[in-house]
């Protein structure tokens, strides 16, 4: 069946076929071809996208009750971004496509640590188109060879594959080049454009710019890249890194600035948490399992916790961090995005706009964050086992009287029928006792529980808890009460555990891989739309201003500890206990 569909899709010029959860996005994005990779036996075709100009949506092509059969075939044709026929000296040029990816800020930390490794991983997996070129752009003077040396140390091959790793790295590096220039200079970008054009060789040239630079030069770079280096015959897209402003006003200003040079559908605002495997899985868990969705409301859920912790400080990024603080760095974006996916109503479809519409709706239903529902902290120096751990203010790029929070806990509420009265707690901190990110869903007590005498007085400890461990060591587990085998009647707490390392024999892709691939494919589902951003800032801006106006001093906590005790009082105010404080062995 899938093969039939692929032939049909090819006949109408589709460029991609999606096969259920085995996302089929590894093919080359040719308007006249379909490439299917990884179509597992149990795969289900859920959509076909085509890049044919002047088309319109057509669905569904065929239906079948068989799980292996093709369903919901949809041709999502992109009028706005469809390739325009290339001409050279008036005559028609190649209809082949090529993608040029420019990493703006290539000399920086993120480029080296995340972006180039993700691009290599995509190349290694065969996910990049046949014709592609990668350019690094920054002010630093570097040759192509020097860029290759800089990034080669951070390229790694999938540990579950490893074949021809060295050769693949060599091949990849040969396709990476460097151009030095000024971010605000159109001349620099014209020169870059000329070089890109040489590599593009007359093909339909799609161009992706990844702005991996400090936020104060986003607009300048967007202007010069857009005015001087946009594609003449294909699409041009720009990935923008966070932070998207410091508050509602600066975020709106940034959006206005970017929109002078780019259309909204060219802007890909990245929140890399949306690219994490378990965050993407949230919707699958909710909407494809009957056992969860009916429980997903105030009727059965007592509280929900979103917890982020790092066991290291701001090392090296204090200069950036001090201007933002943990609420802007983690809560307003990463944790809030996860919350939105967790709490939104079922979307009409898996289409990017339908999902983002629901996220905006739930964000707009939230109550403004009240300062009484927030606790802030900052780490102080600590000596443990003879090792001295620095205080936040020991960072040379941080003023020694800084009151920027490196920890925050908050209680948020959603004012809608589904979630009325349910506390959504967030906790985020640097320099804590462990690194991790998780979602904890604590369910209500069992009414009239026949076994309540077995639990002693602490009924909270006996309620079910669903834990989605985003990182590290990805897992989804449900804490249940169970009879200890034997002749007596003794209950204990056990986990129904989906431990990814035990269940799936493959490495989990880095979030940046998924997101860069989505940007190349024009899939906007995991990127932030401007109205989502506005809604997120509207929630946090009054609180941030209040904290700054009152100059609230953060509670100090020792480096490597569990954070300030105030977080426990905040939770206790809503009869909640943080779920991450209990010891939990990993079970396979
Ligand atoms: N690093 C990380 O882990 C994360 C970073 N981010 C965001 O990604 C973006 C890039 O981060 P990161 O790589 O750490 O940033 P860097 O501070 O390393 O900056 C990247 C490059 O931008 C150029 N640059 C730095 N400061 C200035 C300046 N004041 N004016 C002009 N150019 C400057 C430098 O290149 P040159 O001098 O050669 O031009 C530098 O190599 C930022 O927006 C950051 O907030 C988001 C999440 C995580
Ligand atoms: O965006 C950011 O994220 C990182 C944490 O990302 P992770 O994928 O390693 O969990 C954080 O360290 C940084 O401060 C923040 O800007």
Q: What is the pLDDT of residues 548-579, one digit of tens each?
A: 999 999 999 999 999 999 999 999 999 999 99
Q: Closest ligand 2 atom to the C-alpha of 310?
A: 12
Q: What percent of the chain has pLDDT over 70?
A: 82
Burial of 183 (0-12, 13-18, 19+ CB in 10 A): buried
* Residue 211 CA, closest ligand 1 atom number: 9
Answer whether residue 88 shows pLDDT above 50.
no
Burial class (CB in 10 A: 0-12, 13-18, 19+), 411: buried
Which of 215, 272, 512 for mutating ligand 2's site (highest number of atoms within 8 Å of CB)? 272
- The SS3 call for residue 559 is coil
Per-residue confidence (pLDDT) for residue 422, from 0 to 100: 98
> Which residue has a Cα nearest atom 4 of ligand 1?
110
pLDDT band of residue 120 (cuts 50, 70, 90) is very high
d(CA 527, CA 208) in angstroms, rounded, equals 15
Q: For ligand 1, say whether the CB of 107 is within 6 Å of any of its atoms.
A: yes
Q: Which ligand is nearest to the CA of 511?
A: 2
pLDDT band, very low/low/confident/very high, at 457 (cuts 50, 70, 90): confident
Q: Whose CA is nearest to atom 1 of ligand 1?
A: 110
Please give the mean pLDDT across all residues of the chain: 85
CA–CA dist 235, 206 (Å, integer)? 5
DSSP state of 322: H
Tens of pLDDT, residue by residue over 310-338, are 999 998 788 999 999 999 999 999 999 99
- Res 33 pLDDT > 70: no
* β-strand partners of 100: 133, 207
- Ligand 1 centre to CA of 270 (Å) is 15
Q: Relative to the alpha carbon of 321, which ligand is closest?
A: 2
**C-alpha–C-alpha distance, residues 311 and 437, integer Å:** 12
Question: Of the residues 214, 221, 268, which should be mutated to test ligand 1's pocket, given the most ligand atoms within 8 Å of the CB?
Answer: 214
Q: Is the pLDDT of residue 474 over 90?
A: yes
- Residues 6 or more apart whose Cβ sits within 8 Å of residue 141: 180
**Cβ–Cβ contacts within 10 Å for residue 366, how many?**
22
Confidence check: pLDDT of 1 > 60:
no
The pLDDT value given to residue 60: 31
Q: What average pLDDT does this structure show over 33-47?
A: 31
From CA 47, how far away is CA 71, in angstroms rounded? Answer: 8
User: 109 versus 588: which is more confidently predicted?
Assistant: 109
pLDDT above 60: residue 45: no
Residue 564 CA, ligand 2 centroid: distance in Å: 21
In a 10 Å sphere around its CB, with 0-12 CB exposed, 13-18 middle and 19+ buried, how is residue 406 labelled? Answer: buried
Task: Tell me the domains of the chain and their CATH numbers.
Answer: 1-82 (no CATH), 93-241 (3.40.50.720), 274-449+531-581 (3.30.360.10)
CA of 308 to the centre of ligand 2 (A): 10
Using CA atoms, how far apart are residues 236 and 213, in angstroms rounded to an integer?
19
Which residues, including other chains, have CB under 8 Å from residue 329's CB and lie 6 or more apart? 243, 321, 428
pLDDT at 162: 65
Q: Please list the active-site residues.
A: 334
Ligand 2 atom with minimal separation from the 308 CA = 10
The alpha carbon of residue 204 and the mean position of all alpha carbons in its chain are separated, in whole angstroms, by 29
CA proximity to 147, closest of 122, 171, 180, 120: 180
pLDDT exceeds 70 at position 66: no
Confirm if 579 and 466 have CB atoms less than 8 A apart: no
Q: How far is the CA of 515 from the centre of ligand 1 (A)?
A: 19
Indicate if ligand 1 lies below 6 Å from the C-beta of 439: no
The pLDDT value recorded for residue 31 is 35
Q: How far apart are CA 320 and CA 323, in angstroms?
A: 6
Q: Is 110 in the pocket of ligand 1 (CB under 6 A)?
A: yes
- Decide: helix, strand or coil at residue 366: strand
Of 286, 271, 216, 217, the closest CA to residue 239 belongs to 271
Average confidence (pLDDT) over 9-20: 40
Asked if omega into 118 is within 30° of 0 (cis), the reply is: no
The whole-number average pLDDT for the span 402-412 is 98
Which of 109, 179, 182, 209 is the pocket-test mutation for ligand 1 (most atoms within 8 Å of CB)?
109
Residue scoring higher pLDDT (583 or 266): 266
What ligand 1 atom has the least distance to the C-alpha of 111? 13
Question: How confident is the model over 154-165, as pLDDT tens digits?
Answer: 998 876 666 788
List the residue whose alpha carbon is closest to atom 40 of ligand 1. 108
Residue 90 CA to residue 93 CA, distance in Å, equals 9
* Residue 137 alpha carbon to ligand 1 centre in Å: 12
Please give the full DSSP string across 562-573, using - where no structure is assigned: S--THHHHHHHH
CA distances to 142, 185, 302, 419, 481 from 464, rounded to whole Å, are 56, 58, 10, 18, 8
Distance 100 CA to ligand 1 centre (A): 21
Q: Residue 583 pLDDT > 80, yes or no? A: no
Q: Residue 584: its pLDDT value, please?
A: 57
Cα 518 to Cα 97, 121, 338, 341, 417, distances in angstroms: 17, 14, 18, 18, 34
d(CA 135, CA 104): 8
Structure tokens, 233 = 């015959």
Residue 321 CA: nearest ligand 2 atom is 14
* Residue 265: pLDDT over 80: yes
Q: How far is the CA of 430 from the centre of ligand 2 (A)?
A: 10
Which residue CA neighbors atom 9 of ligand 2 most closely?
310
Residue 9 has pLDDT above 70, yes or no: no
Report the nearest-CA residue for atom 15 of ligand 2.
329
More confident residue, 521 or 588: 521
Asked whether the beta carbons of 407 and 285 are under 8 A apart, the reply is no
- What pLDDT score was predicted for residue 494? 94
- Closest approach atom of ligand 2 to CA 314: 14
438 in ligand 2 pocket by Cβ < 6 Å?
A: no
> Residue 47's pLDDT is what?
35
- Give the DSSP letter string of 462-506: GS-EEEEEEESS-EEEEEEEEEPSSSS--EEEEEEEEEHHHH--S
Q: What is the pLDDT of residue 23?
A: 39
Q: What is the pTM of this model?
A: 0.86
User: What is d(CA 271, CA 316) in angstroms, rounded to the nearest whole number?
Assistant: 21
The predicted pLDDT at position 454 comes to: 82
Give the tens place of pLDDT for each residue, 292-302: 999 999 999 99
Ligand 2, atom 14: closest residue by C-alpha: 329
Average pLDDT over residues 357-377: 97
The H or E element that residue 558 is part of is strand 555-558
Q: Is 329 in the pocket of ligand 2 (CB under 6 A)?
A: yes
The Cα 23–Cα 37 span in angstroms is 9
């Amino acid at each position: 069946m899938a093969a039939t569909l692929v032939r049909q899709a090819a006949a109408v010029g589709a460029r991609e076929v999606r096969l259920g959860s085995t996302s089929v996005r590894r093919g080359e994005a040719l308007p006249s071809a379909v490439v299917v990779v990884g179509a597992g036996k149990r795969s289900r075709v859920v959509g076909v996208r085509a890049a044919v100009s002047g088309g319109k949506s057509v669905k569904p092509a065929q239906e079948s009750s068989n799980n292996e059969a093709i369903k919901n075939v949809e041709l999502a044709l992109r009028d706005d971004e469809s390739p325009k026929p290339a001409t050279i000296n008036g005559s028609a040029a190649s209809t082949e496509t090529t993608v040029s990816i420019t990493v703006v800020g290539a000399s920086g930390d993120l480029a080296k640590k995340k972006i180039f490794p993700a691009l290599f991983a995509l190349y290694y997996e065969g996910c990049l188109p046949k014709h592609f070129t990668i350019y690094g752009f920054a002010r630093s003077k570097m040759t192509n060879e020097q860029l290759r040396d800089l990034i080669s140390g951070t390229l790694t091959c999938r540990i579950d594959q490893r074949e021809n790793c060295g050769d693949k790295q060599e091949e990849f590096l040969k396709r990476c080049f460097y151009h030095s220039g000024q971010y605000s200079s159109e001349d620099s970008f014209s020169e870059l454009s000329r070089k890109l054009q040489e590599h593009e060789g007359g093909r339909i040239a799609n161009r992706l710019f990844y702005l991996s630079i400090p936020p104060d030069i986003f607009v300048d770079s967007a202007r010069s890249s857009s005015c001087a280096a946009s594609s003449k015959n294909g699409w041009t897209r720009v990935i923008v890194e966070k932070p998207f402003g410091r508050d509602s006003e600066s975020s709106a200003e940034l959006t206005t600035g970017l929109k002078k040079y780019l259309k909204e559908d060219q802007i890909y605002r990245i929140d890399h948490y949306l690219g994490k495997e378990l965050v993407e899985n949230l919707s699958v868990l909710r909407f494809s399992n009957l056992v969860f969705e009916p429980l997903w409301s105030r009727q059965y859920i007592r509280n929900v916790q979103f917890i982020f912790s790092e066991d290291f400080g701001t090392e090296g990024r204090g200069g950036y961090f001090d201007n933002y603080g943990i609420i802007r760095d983690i809560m307003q974006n990463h944790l809030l995005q996860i919350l939105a996916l967790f709490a939104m109503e079922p979307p009409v479809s898996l289409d990017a706009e339908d999902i983002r519409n629901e996220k905006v709706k739930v964000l707009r239903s939230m109550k403004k964050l009240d300062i009484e529902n927030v606790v802030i902290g900052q780490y102080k120096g600590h000596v443990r086992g003879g090792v001295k751990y620095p205080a936040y203010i020991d960072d040379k790029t941080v003023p020694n009287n800084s009151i920027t929070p490196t920890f925050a806990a908050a209680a948020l509420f959603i004012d809608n029928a589904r979630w009325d009265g349910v506390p959504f707690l967030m906790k985020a901190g640097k320099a804590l006792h462990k690194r991790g990110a998780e979602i904890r869903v604590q369910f209500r007590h069992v009414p009239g529980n026949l076994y309540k005498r077995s639990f002693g007085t602490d009924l909270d400890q006996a309620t079910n808890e669903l834990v989605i461990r985003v990182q590290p060591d990805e897992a989804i587990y449900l804490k249940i009460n169970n009879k200890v085998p034997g002749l007596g009647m003794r209950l204990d707490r056990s986990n129904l555990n989906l431990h990814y390392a035990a269940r799936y024999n493959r490495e989990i892709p880095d979030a940046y891989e998924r997101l860069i691939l989505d940007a190349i494919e024009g899939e906007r589902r995991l990127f932030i739309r401007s109205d989502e951003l506005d809604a997120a800032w509207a929630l946090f801006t009054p609180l941030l201003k209040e904290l700054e106006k009152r100059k609230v001093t953060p509670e100090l906590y020792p480096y490597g500890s569990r954070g300030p005790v105030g977080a426990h009082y905040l939770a206790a105010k809503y009869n909640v206990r943080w779920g991450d404080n209990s010891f939990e062995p990993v079970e396979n």
